[in-house]
Chain A
Amino acid sequence: MSGVPMEHGLVLAAMLFALGLAGLMFRRNMVFILMSLEIMLNSAGLAFIVGGTAWGQPEGQAMFLLVITLAAAEASVGLALLLQLNNRFKTLDTDAASRMRG
């Protein structure tokens, strides 16, 4: 078996990223938006790993570690905001908080 060509890995990451992106765009519920965000972050991590292993460099995985820390930090702050959103606007719909209209 000749191994997995790098493009396939990257294509997989791209597909995951695109799906996360689509999820982010057409969802109004804050929870789903955060989930899609996680997916996108994860696909980015995947891309790093594929790159790292393809070139045989450990930096890929080191970078993945950072992606994970970022994802963790982002998720926690996101969820905290979600709680506030729910508390103030009594709903999880992001469109409700649109007082910054032009």
Chain B
Amino acid sequence: MMELSMSLLLPLTFLLPLAGTLILSLSNGRLGECASATVGVTSMGLAAIVTVLIALQYIAEPQAYGVTLWRWISVEDFQPSIGLALDGLSLTMLGIITGVGFLIHLFAAWYMQGEEGITRFYAYMNLFVFSMVLLVLGDNLLLLFFGWEGVGLCSYLLIGYYYEHSANGWAAFKAFIVTRTGDVFLAIGMFLLFFELGTLDIAEILRRAPEVWAEGDPTVELAALLMLGGAVGKSAQLPLHTWLADAMAGPTPVSALIHAATMVTAGVYLIARMNGIFLLAPDILELTGIIGALTLLMAGFAALAQTDIKRVLAYSTMSQIGYMFLALGAGAFDAAIFHLMTHAFFKALLFLSAGAVIVSCHHEQDMRRLGGLWRQLPLAYAGFIVGGSALAALPLVSAGFYSKDEILWQQLASGHGGLLLAGMVGAFLTSLYTVRLIILTFHGKPKSDNARNAEAGRGLVHGVPLIVLAVLSTFLGAWIDPPLENLLPAPAEGEESWHLVLELVAAGVAIAGIAVAAWLYLRRRGWLAKHTSMGWGAWLWTFWNHAWGIDELYDRVLVKPYRGLVRILRRDVIDGACNLFAKLAWLLHQGLSRTQTGKLRFYATSMVAGATLILLALALMP
């Protein structure tokens, strides 16, 4: 009986959001703002309830469940099917998606009041959750790819939601293209895996891989590298990260859901899910750690020099996911997923609070024009404080501390000294920019009339998500340990004494960061302003503001040549070449028509010349 109910519950998780999308999109305009909001939120609510039921059943008897709906394609030995597989990892992800997703949908109802096209908004949000659930529950790589691309499309649609300003449209376009390049790497990885192992089923792949390849075999290295490319594209890590900052053009609940909690963590989920392949390719795992470290440092510095609230949070997301990649690099898959969960909570909280601030200040996002809001917007301020502390990993009291500390400990345990150092510097930077964000936004004097007459949001829909997420961001959140027993490979062991020392050091770094930032931005704001406006300070500030200039680099190296090529080929050069034959024929015609002079003598002479030639030919012919 339990089996039957699970095979019924699992499909429900993605059918409900799909139903929500279909209702909203097929209603084309007849549903009012409130009706579409209710449809959107209830579908998410039901999905959350179903997930809770699944979780209860899973905890009752923790074993992998699987249900195959129908065989998708069957050609000779290419037999992918639409099948769902549930285990601890996907349950955790499912919980995050539907749980945090529901809270964000609720908050969005308040955030999007008065906006036109609410039906379209909720249709896309539900479609996004549908694809994300498929990505997480898919039992074979093709279905995972289905969710993978669906998520990319929905992020394109949602970033480009305010389509009137073409800048938003082009930001969405950029996001889709960059993630699509990542998807292409994943696709080639899939082709390679299918060709080598003959199957796409994830469990089957993990079982056959060790038999076919020895550790360090170049093919498995290539497959792992390609999958890493896909993960990097989707999780906005170093080479393919330029799209995340611009993706803030979408509404804030979108950034909360997509660019904090769910989509950007898809890369981490993929690597965790395909851990068998990555273990067979140790130096690719090493590379993952290095990418994570580089990204977290780059993003940390970049976040320091941003003026827009959401861009600071975007870069902070990038650096936190860098931490998760760091954990994966050290083989600590559990720690990565644990940090993923806590990060989903506090980052969603931060984004929603930012959303509350933005709406209250009449869509003012620039920190230089905000300030002194902590008295008018108490709930948002509380959200920022709790979220910020979790982000900065305030010891003992915040969830972030436990998860980030676990990652740093794994680095030490697995002997990655350099990465540990990067992690420490990253932690310091994180606390630095978090405190900067809170002080600039909430303390000091309000620097614009938008900030001055900001009225706080009211109503349950606004309050409940913030409070729930705030609670989850504290140490209570850290107690929810994801059901990952003996699912993912065991992390490295180090002796306990070093663990305690590391915890103290990490706590010290966090507190030091907070203190330095508070001192800098409360007392020495003048010194700071002076230093960042002249000489090397200004140059460094702008360099970090443009995220180390990588975006401009891509623009000059890739985008401009492509546009140039398109402009050159605009008039269909090859077709032009084919038209040359037509021109040739015309020229020939022109030349021959000149021989008709109309003069009798000319004709006579040409006839005689012809006759003589023929006679000569005959005479000289051997």
Is the pairing of A and B real? yes
A residues adjacent to B (C-beta < 8 A): 21, 24-28, 33, 94-95, 97-102
Q: Which residues of B contact A21 (CB under 8 A)?
A: 608
Does B588 make an interface contact (CB < 8 A)?
no
Bits for B442-458, please: 1 = Cβ < 8 Å to A, else 0.
00000000000000000
* A94-B599, A95-B599 known; A102+B594 contact, CB < 8 A: yes
Contact between chains at B597 and A25 (CB < 8 Å) = no
Interface centre among B594, B597, B599, by most chain A C-beta atoms within 10 angstroms, is: B599
Give CA–CA (A94, B599) in the complex, Å: 7
Partner of A25, one of B594, B596, B598, B608: B608
Does B571 make an interface contact (CB < 8 A)?
no
Nearest first, the 9 A-B pairs at minimum CB distance are A102-B596, A98-B598, A101-B598, A102-B593, A94-B600, A100-B598, A95-B599, A25-B605, A98-B599
Q: Which residues of B contact A25 (CB under 8 A)?
A: 601, 604-605, 608
Size band of the B side of the interface?
A: 10 to 19
Question: A92 CB to closest chain B CB, in angstroms?
Answer: 12
Partner of B600, one of A95, A99, A101, A102: A95
Q: Which residues of A contact B599 (CB under 8 A)?
A: 94-95, 98
Give CA–CA (A27, B600) in the complex, Å: 10
Does B595 make an interface contact (CB < 8 A)?
yes
Chain A, residue nearest B593 (CB)? A102
Q: Which residues of B contact A102 (CB under 8 A)?
A: 593-598
Give CA–CA (A24, B597) in the complex, Å: 18
Q: Which residues of A contact B596 (CB under 8 A)?
A: 100-102
Give me 8 A-to-B residue pairs in the complex whose CB atoms sit less than 8 angstroms apart, sorted by A's number. A24-B604, A25-B604, A25-B608, A94-B600, A98-B598, A98-B599, A100-B596, A102-B595
Q: Given A25-B608, A102-B594, 11 other A-B contacts at CB below 8 A?
A: A25-B604, A26-B601, A27-B601, A28-B601, A33-B600, A95-B600, A98-B597, A98-B600, A99-B598, A101-B598, A102-B596
Give CA–CA (A100, B599) in the complex, Å: 9
Give CA–CA (A25, B609) in the complex, Å: 11
Interface centre among A33, A98, A99, by most chain B C-beta atoms within 10 angstroms, is: A98
Q: Which residues of A contact B597 (CB under 8 A)?
A: 98, 101-102
Question: B612 CB to closest chain A CB, in angstroms?
Answer: 10
Question: A85 CB to closest chain B CB, in angstroms?
Answer: 11
Give CA–CA (A98, B602) in the complex, Å: 11
Chain B, residue nearest A21 (CB)? B608
Residues 572-622 of B at the A interface (beta carbon under 8 Å): 593-601, 604-605, 608
Number of A-B contacts (CB under 8 A): 34
Q: Which residues of B contact A94 (CB under 8 A)?
A: 599-601
Residues 383-406 of B at the A interface (beta carbon under 8 Å): none
Q: Which residues of A contact B598 (CB under 8 A)?
A: 97-102
Question: A95 CB to closest chain B CB, in angstroms?
Answer: 5
Q: Which residues of A contact B601 (CB under 8 A)?
A: 25-28, 94-95
Question: A89 CB to closest chain B CB, in angstroms?
Answer: 12
Chain B, residue nearest A100 (CB)? B598
Interface centre among B596, B597, B604, B608, by most chain A C-beta atoms within 10 angstroms, is: B604
Bits for B168-201, please: 1 = Cβ < 8 Å to A, else 0.
0000000000000000000000000000000000
Give CA–CA (A21, B596) in the complex, Å: 21
Question: B141 CB to closest chain A CB, in angstroms?
Answer: 71
Give CA–CA (A28, B296) in the complex, Å: 97
Q: Which residues of B contact A33 (CB under 8 A)?
A: 600
Q: Which residues of B contact A97 (CB under 8 A)?
A: 598, 600
Q: Which residues of B contact A28 (CB under 8 A)?
A: 601
Q: Which residues of A contact B604 (CB under 8 A)?
A: 24-25
Q: Which residues of A contact B605 (CB under 8 A)?
A: 25
Give CA–CA (A102, B592) in the complex, Å: 9
Question: A14 CB to closest chain B CB, in angstroms?
Answer: 11
Q: Which residues of A contact B595 (CB under 8 A)?
A: 102
Q: Which residues of A contact B600 (CB under 8 A)?
A: 33, 94-95, 97-98
Give CA–CA (A82, B597) in the complex, Å: 21
Question: A94 CB to closest chain B CB, in angstroms?
Answer: 4
Question: A23 CB to closest chain B CB, in angstroms?
Answer: 11
Chain A, residue nearest B596 (CB)? A102
Give CA–CA (A33, B594) in the complex, Å: 25
Chain B, residue nearest A101 (CB)? B598
Question: B592 CB to closest chain A CB, in angstroms?
Answer: 8
Question: B587 CB to closest chain A CB, in angstroms?
Answer: 15
Q: Which residues of B contact A95 (CB under 8 A)?
A: 599-601
Question: A17 CB to closest chain B CB, in angstroms?
Answer: 11
Question: B440 CB to closest chain A CB, in angstroms?
Answer: 85
Chain B, residue nearest A99 (CB)? B598
Chain A, residue nearest B592 (CB)? A102
Chain A, residue nearest B605 (CB)? A25
Give CA–CA (A101, B598) in the complex, Å: 4
Chain A, residue nearest B611 (CB)? A21
Question: A83 CB to closest chain B CB, in angstroms?
Answer: 17
Give CA–CA (A102, B605) in the complex, Å: 17
Chain B, residue nearest A95 (CB)? B599
Give CA–CA (A65, B594) in the complex, Å: 42
Question: B43 CB to closest chain A CB, in angstroms?
Answer: 80
Question: A47 CB to closest chain B CB, in angstroms?
Answer: 15
Question: B11 CB to closest chain A CB, in angstroms?
Answer: 80
Give CA–CA (A100, B600) in the complex, Å: 10
Chain A, residue nearest B598 (CB)? A98
Q: Which residues of A contact B608 (CB under 8 A)?
A: 21, 25
